[in-house]
Each structure stands twice: as structure tokens, then as C-alpha cells.
Amino acid sequence: MLVDYGSRDKLFLDAVEEVRHQLLSIAGVSQADGYECVIVQGSGTTAVEAMLGAAVPRKDGKVLIVTNGAYGHRQKAMCQYLGIDHETLDFEDHDAICVKRVLAALREDEDFTDVSFVHHETTAGVLNPLYELVKNIKAEFPPMRVLVDSMSGFGAYPLDMSWGIDFAVSSANKCIEGVPGFGYVLCSREALQQTKGNARSLSLDIYEQWAFMESTKQFRYTPPTHAILAFQQALREFLQEGAREQRAARYQANYEVMERGMEEMGFEFYVPKAHRSYCICTFKTPDHPNFDFQTFYNLLAEQGFVIYPGKLSKGNSFRIGIIGRLFPKDCEQLVLAVRRSCDIMSVPLPLK
């Protein structure tokens, strides 16, 4: 990121092309197979909004948003802002999406043209059954467009566009381990071309973004040059590590250290093991009078560890992310830091 390239410099344009092709490859497809990668400047949320705003038709379009956490509910808010006809099917934030209930909801309303859901819902750390959802939806409703927010899943869990996914979104700063600055929409070229003239926003028009880049190799508006160069390097390191399989194995090893260490201290997971992801852990806040989350947070920060407060609809919790350039030895140190913090707060372990 200490190298400056102009946004129209050939070296930068070559980097963009490499990034686009590599992302499709990770998703199991290529341009030759009829798929495209559209880079969208901004946050991952920006890319999700770009996907929804372009994919769901203005005329007679209606999307079923399936939610089991805050990021699914965020899609609902986007549709409200954009004036997109939608309904929601809600699940508890500690449960995975049920395929049978999704199919039943689609059967009940023939007006649905699209269905959208989150692959890895990090509100609580629930992994939804992506393959089963896509295959069953496409088997019963072949014309239905399937939209996937795989923000924190892509690169760590299997996602193959050829399963029947029409649009999938992720961002630079999650499991590929780049830095914030852009998201990307992976899509079938046929589905993308159908969005021409449909977007609700000029700067978030993924069709025009793609068409301009195909004809000029450039972005329509100022690109995040340094973030893309950093991501180019992150992709190379991703492949050097062994691509998704080995990246996932490292995250799984991190999770196992956290699971063993936290449960030995009596901390309770919020999500049942069957639905739990290995990218983020959500723990119930201990019910002990001496445990104060802000104090706990500050004590961990003083030891070099920053965690997240919970985002659950019910109850108090906290979250620990275990993706990024982290290894089992880092997680072992975090477990020790948690133990020291509880000792300082006079919270006896194991918790009762």
C-alpha cells in the first residue's frame, strides 16, 4: 500500500483484471463460463445495496429476504429505502435458515422474482446451508434469481456460482484478508445483462460499472487504488496458503482453540454447535455481579486484543472474530488474556 499507481496506469489496470479473474476462479467459474466480477467502491454494505438495487426488477419485481440476523434485516432496510417490493421470512438469530420453510414461502406467493439471504450471518456466527438452499430453490423455481450476501463466508466456505447462484457479494476485508475499500459482485453474465437500465442509483449501477470496465478497462469513478493493490497481494497470499481449503483449515484450528479454552472457563456459546461457524464466536455474557463488559473489553484491549459487543436481538453477549492474519497461537494468547481479565475482575473460573 506504499506504492502509488494512477487509476489509469496500465500496472493498476492489470491488477484490477487479475483480481477480477482470481475472484471468479475462487467461485469455481470464469468469464469463459459466462460469469462476471463487478468491483464496487465502498463498503461491503454498498455492494449488497448495489446488488439489490440492480437485480430486482423495477416492474413486477419482488424479493423474498430471508433473515436470521442483523445483516438480513439490513437488506430489508435497503429495500425500504430503494422502494423495492419485498417480504421477509425471519428466523431466530441462533438458528440456521430452514430450506423447507423458504420453499414454502416461495410457493405461497407467485409474485416473487428473487430471493436473497446471508451465507454466513455474523450477528451470532451462524452458517446457513448455502448449497442446499440454492439447489432446492433452483430445482423448484428455475426462473427465480438467487442473491447471496457472502460477506464473511466467501474464501472460507464453499461457494460455487455454478450451483445456480445469480448474484453473490463479498468484500475485500473479510476472508481473503485484504483491507477495506471495496466490495464485489459475482454474477452470471446473463443475469447481469438483464439489469441494464434497472438500477436505482447512478454510482451503484453494476451493469454500467461492468460495461464501462469491459470497454475501457477503467472504473467510471475514482477507484480505491491502494485497497485493490493490497487485495492483489492478499489474493496471492491466499493462493500460496493453499486457497480456500487451507485458509478454512487455519480458521477451523483457531476456532478449536477458542472453543476448548472458553468452554474450560465456563463461557457458554450462544449458537448451537450444529449451526456454528468457525469464523466468529458469540458467547453469552456471564451472569456474575463482578463481570462488567466494558471493563472486560478494556482489559483485553490493554493486552492487545479487541473484541466486539454482541448484536443479538435477545440477551447480552460478546463476539470474538477469528479470521484475518490470526493463527492458533494468537488464540491461545487470547484465551490466557480472558483468564487474566476475569481474575482482575474477581470473576471466579470456571463460571457457574
Angle at the Cα of 201 (from 152 to 162), degrees rounded to 5? 45
Domain CATH for 278? 3.90.1150.10
**Domain assignment of residue 98, yes or no:** yes
216 and 251 co-located in one domain? no
**Average of per-residue pLDDT across 171-200:** 98
236 and 260 co-located in one domain? no
Q: What is the pLDDT of residue 3?
A: 85
- Domain end position, chosen among 215, 241, 267: 241
**213 Cβ partners below 8 Å, 6+ apart?**
16, 38, 39, 219
176 and 34 co-located in one domain? yes
272 and 309 co-located in one domain? yes
- Domain end position, chosen among 241, 259, 275: 241
**Domain assignment of residue 352, yes or no:** no
* Domain of residue 253, residue span: 243-344
pTM of the model: 0.96
39: which strand partners?
184
193 and 299 co-located in one domain? no
- Domain end position, chosen among 220, 241, 262: 241
79 and 118 co-located in one domain? yes
30 and 66 co-located in one domain? yes
**Domain assignment of residue 210, yes or no:** yes
* pLDDT tier for residue 346 given thresholds of 50, 70 and 90: very high
**Domain assignment of residue 225, yes or no:** yes
Q: What is the pLDDT of residue 179?
A: 98
Q: What is the pLDDT of residue 1?
A: 77
**pLDDT exceeding 90 applies to what percent of the chain?**
96
Q: What is the pLDDT of residue 313?
A: 66
**Domain assignment of residue 4, yes or no:** no
**43 Cβ partners below 8 Å, 6+ apart?**
171, 180, 183
266 and 202 co-located in one domain? no
**Domain assignment of residue 223, yes or no:** yes
Number of separate domains in the chain: 2
266 and 217 co-located in one domain? no
Domain CATH for 43? 3.40.640.10
Q: What is the pLDDT of residue 11?
A: 95
**Domain assignment of residue 59, yes or no:** yes
197 and 259 co-located in one domain? no
3 state SS of 174: coil
State the Cα–Cα distance between residues 41 and 213, nearest whole angstrom. Answer: 13
State the Cα–Cα distance between residues 275 and 277, nearest whole angstrom. Answer: 7
The rounded mean pLDDT for the chain is: 97
Residue 11 CB coordination number (10 Å): 10
**Domain assignment of residue 1, yes or no:** no
Inter-residue contact 74 to 45 (CB < 8 Å):
yes
129 and 170 co-located in one domain? yes
Which letter, b or e, does each residue of 267-306 get, where b requires 16 or more Cβ atoms within 10 Å of its Cβ? bebbbeeebbbbbbbbbbbbeeeebeeeebbebbeeeebe
CA-nearest of 317, 156, 351 to 245 is: 156
150 and 47 co-located in one domain? yes
